Amino acid sequence: MGPTETGSGSSAVAELAEASRSGDRRATARLLSLVERGGPQADEVASATHFHVGGAHVVGVTGAPGSGKSTITNSLTTLLAEAGRRPAVLAVDPSSPLTGGAILGDRVRMNGAAEAGVFIRSMATRGHAGGLALAVPGAVRVLDAAGFDPVIIETVGVGQVEVDVTDAADTTVVVVAPGWGDAVQANKAGLLEVADLFVVNKADRPGADDARRDLDLMLDLSTITGRVGGERPSVTMTTATEGDGIAELAEAVVGHLGRLSDGEELAQRRERRRLAEVRAHLGHLLEGAGEEVLATEASKATNPAESPMMVARRLAAGLLG
């Protein structure tokens, strides 16, 4: 095992990491719990797993609620497991910032994958002070270090959180369904920008061909030509409940990784992810330091003699020396 930066308690975390790499799923689950909880032990997990990553193809699956993301993930990972791969699923619920509530219902729709031996983890980020930007990369690192490949990140809903989560992936799959047009128009630019592959799910339902046509038209009219060498994102039709189109989707996912690996794109994406994670950690640390300074300067901060901006600039100058 490579050098670590862990402090007190690092021995126990290192033992868990070693057991995880040896195939102990309970150890992997415990490491994920530490990452989800955040704090110093999450930092120890990051150090213990950092030197054992890089082998997993990370795939983000996103789309509107009800489009069938969990069913697609279930069918896709079951197929991969039966083919001898070791897939893992990280089903992310961003949870409520006010109540901390999270549904975590994805596992219910992945019974087939679980029976095939797929490692599935439902994850709420309510306990992690850094939110998705820190919890998801840390969890992916644990699964990667444990030897799972691919690692599927399946997310809830459409919005800025979805874009943040897909930033953690090598390949991003956006799932739509018949009747998607009105719901997606407001998010069109964001969806087109993050997607490497599109899936029109529930292809057996009326309107599926219309959804495919509308999507093709949006891609044709878009100035975004794709994220790998200017290629246009492919569109796969699936009926995930029946397994139709899943083999084609698996082929598209593997093909996308191959194209990434042919040039510098895969390395560049992972460098950008690393930079984004460093930025998230830095922002979290600075935020914590700022809260400490604000607590000691509370009386001055509420003094009406200075504008809030002036107070903030003065405190920032003190932090930055």
In percent, the amount of the chain with pLDDT more than 70 equals: 79
**In one letter, which amino acid is 301?**
A
CA distance 196 to 178: 20
Q: What local confidence, expressed as pLDDT, does residue 186 receive? A: 41
Using pLDDT thresholds of 50, 70 and 90, give the confidence band for residue 224. low
Q: What local confidence, expressed as pLDDT, does residue 6 receive? A: 39
Interval 15-58: pLDDT, tens: 999 999 999 999 999 999 999 888 899 999 999 999 999 899 99
Interval 181-201: pLDDT, tens: 554 554 555 667 778 999 999
Average model confidence (pLDDT) for the chain?
Answer: 83
Q: Strands 119-124, 88-93: parallel, antiparallel or unpaired by DSSP? A: parallel
Average pLDDT over residues 53-81: 92
SS (H, E, C) the chain: CCCCCCCCCHHHHHHHHHHHHCCCHHHHHHHHHHHHHCCHHHHHHHHHHHHHCCCCCEEEEEECCCCCHHHHHHHHHHHHHHCCCECEEEEEECCCCCCCCCCCCHHHHHHHHHHCCCEEEEEECCCCCCCHHHHHHHHHHHHHHCCCECEEEEECCCCHHHHHHHCCCCEEEEEECCCCHHHHHCCHHHHHHHCCEEEECCCCCCCHHHHHHHHHHHHHHCCCCCCCCCCCCEEEECECCCCECHHHHHHHHHHHHHHHHHCCHHHHHHHHHHHHHHHHHHHHHHHHHHHHHHHHCHHHHCCCCCCHHHHHHHHHHHHHC
CA distance 70 to 91: 8
CA distance 26 to 67: 32
Domain 54-263: give its CATH superfamily: P-loop containing nucleotide triphosphate hydrolases (3.40.50.300)
Q: What local confidence, expressed as pLDDT, does residue 103 receive? A: 47
Q: What local confidence, expressed as pLDDT, does residue 7 receive? A: 40
47 vs 219, more confident: 47
247 burial class (0-12, 13-18, 19+ CB within 10 angstroms)? middle
